[in-house]
Chain A
Amino acid sequence: MATPLLELSNVSKSFAGSDALKDISLEVEPGQVLCLLGDNGAGKSTLIKILSGVHRPTGGEVRVSGTPVNFGSPKDASVLGIATVHQFGGSFPLMTVERSFFVGREPTKGWGVFRIFDKKTAAAISVSAVQRLGITRITRGDQIVGSLSGGERQALVIARAVHFGAKVLILDEPTAALGVKEATHVLRIIMQARAAGVAVVFVTHNVLHAMTVGDRFAVLIHGRKVDDFRKGERSRAEITDLMAGGEAMAELESELAQYELDAGESR
């Protein structure tokens, strides 16, 4: 078995005494999609922040390719090839595709202080990188990012991360704000990143999207990992139940039944 690219063992994080995460163990291998499922407040964002170097865990260990790491800043994580894509972040609506793609890593021509931004190269690389992800509507580098659809913007950011050598791609709710077709497109892009050998951590609360692309799954509730399984080991209904906290759903159903009963009596 391949060494997991990214591995968490018993990672905990507490803020001012309260546990945001407790004893989380996860691993993701190259060319695998790990889906992190959980409701709002389950600790998904905290986990992402630990993986991307924003927070330091208060307990446990994070390993990259088997080596324990201690990220001091997001830069430390990105140096090791861990790229995080937030729902809307990473693309600049009022910039052009070619400029946005190369923000912070501008290709230049010329020498010293007289270096100039190499627009031609930037346009050619950025357009071909997004087209490789199947976004053929982006044909020119000087298109404004804000004129692209949500899915295309996600594609642009993912293409950027892959182009600059991301080995682990953390996608924070990439499909949450998208329409059905757009979401399908993003899922397709996830599959392409996976096929290219990238380890993908796909954070979502959409069970269907997760089941479509996921190889491994982990469900978080109140900062704890309550289940961990591989593709095909759980049904959709089981996962949904688990995410909603099972009991909570059952409770709500009985409450609703009670309301209906009350309403019937008062009539």
Chain B
Amino acid sequence: MQTRLNVASTGVRTSPKLVAQPATVHEPRQTFRRLSRRSEMGALVGAVVVFVFFAVLGGSKFLSVGGFAGWTNVAAELGVVAVPVGLLMIAGELDLSVGSVIAASSMTLAIASGYWQLPYPVGILLALAVGAIVGLINGIITTRTNVPSFVVTLGTQFGMAGLTLGLSRALTGSTNVSVTPDPVSKSIVGTLIAGQFETSILWCIGLALLVGWVLHVSPWGNWIFAIGGDKESARAADIPVARTKVVLFVCSGLGAALVGVIQTSLYNGAQTAIGQSFVFNSIIAVVIGGVLLTGGYGSVIGVILGTITFAVVTQGIYYTGWSSDWGSLILGILLLVAVLLNNTFRRLALATKRQRSVGSRKDRNGNATTRTE
């Protein structure tokens, strides 16, 4: 099916009939090309490779229900943080404060409902409020001052860690507070289904669906991509850049606070030092997931795949019989390989059309003669 279209020169407009409709022919090669330019391709390859790797080395134990629960639980908690952090990164901003937000919200819940004996749902609301407020502060400072979010959130990360530690000790005299959730709250946020699957898995799936809808289906997703792609052009297109970013920072804070609530409910207590590993782990998951660190590119399914990859590596190592000391080494290598892979896929995506343009000819008048497929 090759029709030749001769493009008219100056002044003469292409008649509407010649306006090509989207191609209807789907050759396998074309399908591959279209797949390969999706941002989550690298993450998909990474997830499959590590899964097969640990399935072979870890054997039946890794593939058992217990093994499955092991990495899905880790992935789910990380995903609840990584999905909103990924969304923020697509909009071109980082959030390094999630670690302290988890600690602060956990302690808020434990102190409010454990130490002060307030109703557990009230404690949950207070904990989420802490996350939202930190997000709000991050967002407002970043958008008002133009200080990079890296620095702003690094500041709140340390500030909140100190505040949490200081206030906890001042109020309760301890850095470790226990709390007993009411049965309903516990069953919603912090229990094990079938004895081994955390409810956070459901929260993570729900969150991913919601954020996936916002990013890829709703019109707001377009704003997020545009803001991360080119802030000035987005502003010129009348997008409320600052407001959108503040909302995304609040979402990121809420995600971290939710993990704080989940962990506190699961372990019936909180410590001031928990959650700090989430800062870099969430970034690793998001970057493996194909989100561009500088923004403007990425997908929710990619972030989820990145999260799964991370969890499979950190948990899979226990089933191999190797010392878990090597886990970080594998993660480091994986991160670099994933980023290189993602860069390659992105370059492929950007090159698809150019390669074809080499094939299209120009006639003597310099008018492009293109082929429609």
Q: Which residues of A contact B (CB under 8 A)?
A: 74-75, 78, 84, 89-95, 99-100, 102-106, 108, 115-117, 123, 127-128, 131-132, 134, 136-137, 139-144, 146-149, 181, 184, 188, 191-192, 195
Contact = CB atoms under 8 A, between A and B. Distances in A.
A132 B225 contact: no
A71 B366 CA distance: 42
Contacts, number: 134
Given A90-B236, A147-B354, A191-B11, 18 more contacts: A75-B238, A90-B230, A91-B230, A95-B226, A99-B222, A99-B226, A100-B226, A103-B223, A103-B239, A104-B237, A105-B238, A134-B8, A136-B7, A140-B22, A141-B22, A142-B34, A147-B352, A148-B353
Contacts of B182: none
B238 to A, nearest CB: 5
Nearest to B298: A94
B350 A147 contact: yes
A191 B349 CA distance: 32
Interface of B: 5, 7-8, 10-11, 13-14, 16, 18-20, 22-23, 34, 37, 217-219, 221-223, 225-226, 229-230, 232-239, 292, 296-297, 346, 349-354, 357, 360, 362, 366, 368, 370, 372
B246 to A, nearest CB: 18
A134 B370 CA distance: 12
28 contacts: A74-B235, A78-B236, A89-B236, A90-B236, A92-B296, A93-B229, A93-B296, A94-B292, A94-B346, A95-B229, A95-B296, A103-B233, A103-B239, A105-B237, A108-B219, A127-B22, A128-B16, A131-B14, A131-B19, A132-B13, A136-B368, A141-B22, A144-B353, A146-B350, A147-B354, A149-B354, A191-B11, A192-B13
Nearest to B216: A117
Contact of A191 (B10, B239, B366): B10
B229 A92 contact: yes
Contacts of B237: 90, 103-105
A137 B349 contact: no
Contact of B19 (A78, A128, A144): A128
B372 A139 contact: yes
Contacts of B234: 103-104
A144 B38 CA distance: 11
Contact of A136 (B5, B22, B23, B354): B5
A20 B353 CA distance: 43
Contacts of A127: 19-20, 22
Contacts of A91: 230, 233
B297 A131 contact: no
A104 B226 contact: yes
Nearest to B239: A104
B219 A106 contact: yes
Nearest to A136: B7
B14 A132 contact: yes
A143 B14 contact: no
Contacts of A147: 349-354
A93 B16 CA distance: 27
Contacts of B14: 131-132, 134, 136
Given A90-B233, A136-B20, A149 B219 contact: no
Contacts of B346: 94
A132 B15 CA distance: 8
B237 to A, nearest CB: 3
B22 A139 contact: yes
Contacts of A89: 230, 232-233, 236
A115 B362 CA distance: 43
Nearest to B347: A146
B297 A94 contact: yes
Nearest to A164: B237
A142 B37 CA distance: 11
Given A92-B296, A93-B229, A131-B14, A106 B22 contact: no
A117 B217 contact: yes
The 5 closest A-B pairs by CB, nearest first: A104-B237, A106-B219, A147-B353, A92-B229, A139-B20
A100 to B, nearest CB: 8
Nearest to A181: B366
Contact of B360 (A78, A105, A115, A137): A137
